[in-house]
């Protein structure tokens, strides 16, 4: 149990790398699609809705497998520079996670933007504030406040989602835990250590979100 | 499209039965989850600190640890645990548990943690007066729970339970790692022998989308039925 601890800690680093990379990319994707969702053009709106529906309606495992095993099948892709990225399981996992969390994030952000009272925007406009500043100084801070609790949940779901990277040969925390279990046949001990590390990360994320909620806890 | 023919030529029938397997595992897991929820919801609401902490530990640990890790625990540890119990009763042969049971049990424990939270929330949002009135009127325990509390609780819980159902349905894809032939496993086998992973995994995605879409239609109908005023 103690011997396996350093190995698992090393693997935690990969888990954290996967998590942070996909959260950052996912946030941009989510923001992009949230803006498309609020577009008045029906076609653009439908497209953004379809994106989030497909990625939220299918398991993350299918998405990783399509990207890692499936895309390599397209001959054309193998000739482009994209192949450098797509042949690495690490990047495939990050792409799949980002697209997945992007879909959930877009829903969270959309509902956050939609709950902003129109009065605030009208007040801003009637004071003659340019619409860019209304967006960055009024809409964004309120949207952050509204979406923090749901986004915190999404971060924790994504942390758990990164465990699927082990199915495409990546040695993340779950991958190493599985390897140790299958070589030592001590499932309970390894589960306690690996699960403990995951719980510790969940605990920290939970508290950071709580702190941010307090910081952005202005009255609206 | 030839790949989807039924019979020996295509994978249509295999994928059809795999879909049924996914549905069967999801429903079994959901029911096991309800049993866990029925056990742990009272603990979470109890005033006893010790019982309360057991309930909290269950939901915190299961919701904070990746599903895959829980599945590995039961997949590798399940038969060991059962053999240990059996050895107490003097049975020492090797026991192998079937993949369906391990799968539905591990997904059931996960889904149970989510259901527990849903039931707890629903029970807590029932007006206190309802409990008091039922007690004051002297109903027996059966009527108190099944005729007064449960219908009100279900009404509040069903929208959230349909989320739990979606999570459970998608989680069943993970038990393909244990070798149970459901949609993911069957697509993996088909992709391996035809060397056409793009087609089969995309088709698996379509099957899951269909399942989530159809079950949402059903659950929405159930929701309107139960949300009638009282």
**pLDDT at residue B184 tops 70:** yes
Question: B148, B91, B75: which is closest to A185 by C-alpha?
Answer: B75
Residues A56, A135: contact at Cβ < 8 Å?
Answer: no
pLDDT category at B129 given cuts 50, 70, 90 is confident
Q: Is A92 on the interface with B (CB under 8 A)?
A: no
CA pseudo-torsion sign A196, A199, A203, A209: positive
Q: Which fold does the domain B10-226 belong to in CATH?
A: MetI-like fold (1.10.3720)
Average of pLDDT values for B30-53? 93
pTM score > 0.80 for this model? yes
**Would you say residue B79 has pLDDT above 90?**
no
Taking all residues of chain A, what is their mean pLDDT, rounded to a whole number?
Answer: 89
A204 at interface of B, judged by CB pairs closer than 8 A: no
Q: Which of B46, B73, B12, B25 is nearest to B169 (CA)?
A: B25
> Could you tell me the pLDDT band of residue B25, with boundaries at 50, 70 and 90?
very high
pLDDT tier, A220 (very low <50, low <70, confident <90, very high otherwise) = low
pLDDT tens column, A35-93: 898 888 899 999 999 999 999 999 999 999 999 998 888 877 777 777 877 888 899 99
Residue A66: which of B80, B170, B202 has the nearest Cβ? B202
**Domain ranges for chain B:** 10-226
| Weakest-pLDDT range from A94-103, A185-194, B93-102 | B93-102
Query: With 80 as the cut, is the pLDDT of residue A217 above it?
Result: no
Q: Which of residues 147-166 of B touch A (CB under 8 A)?
A: 166
Question: Which residue's entry shows tokens 């295509």?
Answer: B10
For the segment B1-14, the average pLDDT, to the nearest whole number, is 73
DSSP A70: I
The confidence score (pLDDT) of residue B92 equals 74
Nearest CA-CA partner of B55 in B10, B150, B119 = B119
Phi–psi pair at B165, nearest 5 degrees? -60, -45
Closest among A85, A84, A88, A93 to A66, alpha carbons compared: A93
Q: In this complex, is the C-beta atom of A142 within 8 Å of any C-beta atom belonging to chain B?
A: no
What gap in Å lies between CA B188 and CA B173, rounded to an integer? 11
What is the predicted pLDDT for the residue at A76? 78
Q: Which residue has the higher pLDDT, A192 or A72?
A: A192
Sign of the torsion formed by the C-alpha atoms of A50, A55, A59 and A64: positive
Share of chain B above pLDDT 90, in %: 47
**B2 — pLDDT class (breaks 50, 70, 90):** low
**Over chain B, what is the mean pLDDT?**
88
Q: Do A199 and B60 touch (CB under 8 A)?
A: yes
pLDDT recorded at residue B56: 92
pLDDT greater than 70 at residue B8? no
Task: Enumerate domains of chain A plus CATH numbers.
Answer: 19-168 (1.10.3720.10)
User: A178 — contact with chain B (CB < 8 Å)?
Assistant: yes
pLDDT value, residue A1: 65
- In chain A, residues with a C-beta closer than 8 Å to the C-beta of B184 are 59, 61-62, 65
CA distances from residue B120 to B54, B78, B93, B116 in whole angstroms, order as listed:
14, 29, 42, 6
Of the candidates B63, B189, B69, B180, which has an alpha carbon nearest to the alpha carbon of residue A178? B69
Q: What pLDDT does A58 receive?
A: 94
When pLDDT is cut at 50, 70 and 90, the band that residue A216 belongs to is confident
B226 contacts chain A (CB < 8 A)? no
pLDDT at residue A136 is higher than 90: no
User: CA torsion angle for B68, B71, B73, B76 (degrees, to 10)?
Assistant: -120
Look at B68 and A199 and tell me if their CB atoms are within 8 Å.
no
**What is this model's ipTM?**
0.85
Contacts 24+ apart (CB under 8 A), B5-13: B11/B186, B11/B190, B11/B194, B11/B200
Which one of B57, B65, B166, B213 makes the best mutation probe of the A interface by having the most chain A beta carbons within 10 Å?
B65
Q: Check residue A87 and report its DSSP letter.
A: T
Using the beta-carbon criterion (under 8 Å), do B65 and A198 form an inter-chain contact?
A: yes
pLDDT band of A113, cuts 50, 70, 90: confident
Say which of A62, A174, A191 has its CB closest to residue B201. Answer: A62
Give the pLDDT of residue A219: 67
- Predicted local confidence at residue B230, as pLDDT: 58
Of A53, A160, A182, the CB nearest to B66: A160
Q: What is the DSSP string of A176-216?
A: HHHHHHHHH--HHHHHHHHHHHHHHHHHHHHHHHHHHHHHT
Is the CB of B82 inside 8 Å of chain A's CB atoms? no
CB contact under 8 A, A195 and B173: no
**What is the torsion angle, in degrees rounded to the nearest 10, for the CA atoms of residue B58, residue B59, residue B63 and residue B64?**
-60
CA distance B55 to B89: 30
Distance from CA of A46 to the nearest CA of B (A): 17
Over residues B201-218, mean pLDDT: 93
What's the pLDDT band for A4 if we cut at 50, 70, 90? confident
Q: For A85-103, write each residue's pLDDT tens digit.
A: 788 889 999 999 999 999 9
Of all residues in chain A, the percent with pLDDT exceeding 90 is 54
3-state secondary structure B68-128: HHHHHHHHHHHHHHHHHHHHHCCCCCCCCCCHHHHHHHHHHHHHHHHHHHHHHHHHHCCCH
């Amino acid at each position: 149990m103690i011997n396996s601890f350093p190995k698992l800690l090393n693997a935690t680093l990969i888990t954290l790398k996967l998590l942070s990379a996909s959260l950052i990319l996912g946030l941009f994707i989510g923001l992009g699609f949230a803006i498309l969702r609020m577009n008045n053009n029906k076609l653009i709106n439908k497209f953004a809705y379809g994106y989030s529906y497909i990625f939220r309606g299918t398991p993350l495992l299918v998405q990783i497998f399509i990207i890692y095993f499936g895309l390599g099948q397209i001959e054309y892709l193998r000739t482009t520079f994209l192949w450098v990225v797509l042949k690495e399981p690490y990047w495939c996992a990050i792409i799949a996670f980002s697209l997945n969390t992007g879909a959930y994030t877009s829903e969270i952000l959309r509902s956050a933007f939609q709950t902003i009272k129109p009065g605030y925007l009208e007040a801003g406009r009637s004071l003659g504030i340019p619409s860019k500043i209304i967006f960055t100084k009024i809409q964004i801070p309120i949207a952050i406040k509204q979406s923090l609790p749901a986004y915190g949940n999404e971060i924790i779901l994504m942390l758990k989602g990164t465990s699927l990277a082990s199915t495409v040969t990546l040695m993340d925390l779950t991958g190493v835990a599985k390897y140790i279990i299958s070589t030592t046949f001590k499932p309970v001990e390894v589960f306690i250590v690996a699960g403990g590390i995951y719980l510790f990360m969940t605990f920290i994320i939970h508290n950071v979100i709580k702190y941010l909620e307090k910081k952005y806890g202005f009255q609206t | 499209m030839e790949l989807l023919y039924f019979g020996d030529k295509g994978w249509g029938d295999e994928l059809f039965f795999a879909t049924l397997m996914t549905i069967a595992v999801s429903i079994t897991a959901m029911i096991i989850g309800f049993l866990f929820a029925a056990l742990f919801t009272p603990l979470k609401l109890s005033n006893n600190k010790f019982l309360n902490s057991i309930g909290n530990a269950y939901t915190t640990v299961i919701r904070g640890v990746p599903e895959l890790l829980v599945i590995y625990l039961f997949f590798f540890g399940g038969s060991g645990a059962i053999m240990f119990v059996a050895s107490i009763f003097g049975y020492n042969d090797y026991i192998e548990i079937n993949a369906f049971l391990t799968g539905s049990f591990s997904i059931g424990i996960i889904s149970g943690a989510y259901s527990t939270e849903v039931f707890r929330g629903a029970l807590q949002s029932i007006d206190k007066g309802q409990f008091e009135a039922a007690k004051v009127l002297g109903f027996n325990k059966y009527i108190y729970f099944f005729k007064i509390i449960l219908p009100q609780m279900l009404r509040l819980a069903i929208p959230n339970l349909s989320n739990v159902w979606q999570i459970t349905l998608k989680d069943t894809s993970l038990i393909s790692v244990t070798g149970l032939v459901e949609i993911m496993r069957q697509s993996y086998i088909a992709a391996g022998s035809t060397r056409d992973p793009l087609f089969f995994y995309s088709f698996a995605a379509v099957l899951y989308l269909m399942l989530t879409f159809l079950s949402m239609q059903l659950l929405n109908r159930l929701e309107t039925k139960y949300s009638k005023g009282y």
